[in-house]
A and B are shown apart, each in its own frame.
Chain A
């Protein structure tokens, strides 16, 4: 598949990415193993850009994407998102961002990213192993 660059950042990804939300959220339930196999086939077809978010689940979609793409560490880019309330209204903009948790004085967005780190267990470049080591050094809060 052709590649494209996202603006001036130098980040190069497949011309089409893959939205993963509904693999475990916002639709009928799917079999996790089936979705992992599906994600592997997407990589085989040249997709290198995968989209998830902390609020999808919450948490389970990041877990799925992280687990499925672990074997391709350094070869694919995972994009995730922070800062959406996991409220009882569910995944809707009217639920609004989780403002209190986002105050920088509360350490935001560190608690969120810490969670995303442990769920994703992978990262976007060939320095993946280094990053894993760094993640383990992240202080507990």
Chain B
């Protein structure tokens, strides 16, 4: 699959879609994707070359795409590939105020990883841990299971470099959140104001 990494304000979406269409016709790539595009951009590209998936940030603590992007994807039959589904590691609950980030680590400059934000957002982890206790699951597994429960055409892509973490993530695919669980999460999240920009 070949995604446009970000919309380019200087190139019409139709041209981008047309160029990828040619690549698909030539057998160079199989599928067309977009990333962080708005609803209008998705529609314009999709009209030229059907879009297989949108890759945008989506997780229990970053839900901006729910207003107009998710309904657009559903209407057009486009899949969603949420990136940073574990909030760049925060939603595992393993990050706290004493965590230090190597200068090469992109989180060292991320507003959601200041000590203040780490402390203020702990309530999200507490919620995930509380639900997790009922299910015998970790906070990360609940965060991923929550995403999987939103729509059947959502495929999160948590990053990992450790087998232990990979296995933990994979375990999330077998955790089922009931309608009541989702309502409980929804109620609790509506009372939480997440601190810090995502970039």
Contact = CB atoms under 8 A, between A and B. Distances in A.
Do A and B share a complex?
yes
Interface of A: 1-2, 4-9, 11, 13-23, 26-30, 35, 38, 41-42, 45-47, 49, 51, 53-55, 77-84, 91-93, 96-97, 99, 102-104, 108-110, 113, 116-117, 123-125, 127, 130-131, 134-135, 138
Contacts of B3: 53, 79-82
Contacts of B161: 22-23, 30, 35, 38
B105 A27 contact: yes
Nearest to A53: B5
A16 B155 contact: yes
A27 B19 contact: no
Nearest to B78: A7
Contacts of B104: 26-29
Contacts of A14: 155
Contact of B2 (A42, A113, A125, A134): A113
Interface of B: 1-11, 15-16, 18-20, 23, 26-31, 33, 35, 50-53, 55, 73, 76-79, 81, 83, 102, 104-106, 144, 148, 152-163, 166-167, 169-170, 172-173, 199
A126 B106 CA distance: 37
B81 A51 contact: yes
21 contacts: A4-B152, A4-B155, A6-B155, A7-B52, A7-B73, A7-B78, A11-B30, A11-B52, A14-B155, A19-B83, A26-B104, A27-B105, A29-B104, A38-B161, A84-B5, A97-B7, A97-B9, A113-B28, A123-B29, A131-B28, A134-B26
A113 B20 CA distance: 9
- Ranked nearest first, the 8 interchain pairs of A and B with the lowest CB-CB distance are A6-B79, A8-B77, A19-B159, A17-B157, A81-B5, A9-B52, A79-B1, A7-B79
A61 to B, nearest CB: 11
Contact of B155 (A17, A27, A30, A104): A17
A38 B163 contact: yes
B157 A51 contact: yes
Contacts of B9: 97, 99
Given A7-B53, A7-B73, A134-B28, A83 B159 contact: no
A77 to B, nearest CB: 7
Contact of A22 (B4, B50, B159, B199): B159
A104 B166 contact: no
A26 B106 contact: yes
Nearest to B102: A28
Contacts of B55: 51, 79, 81
A101 B136 CA distance: 50
Contacts of B31: 6, 9, 11, 79, 124
B115 to A, nearest CB: 20
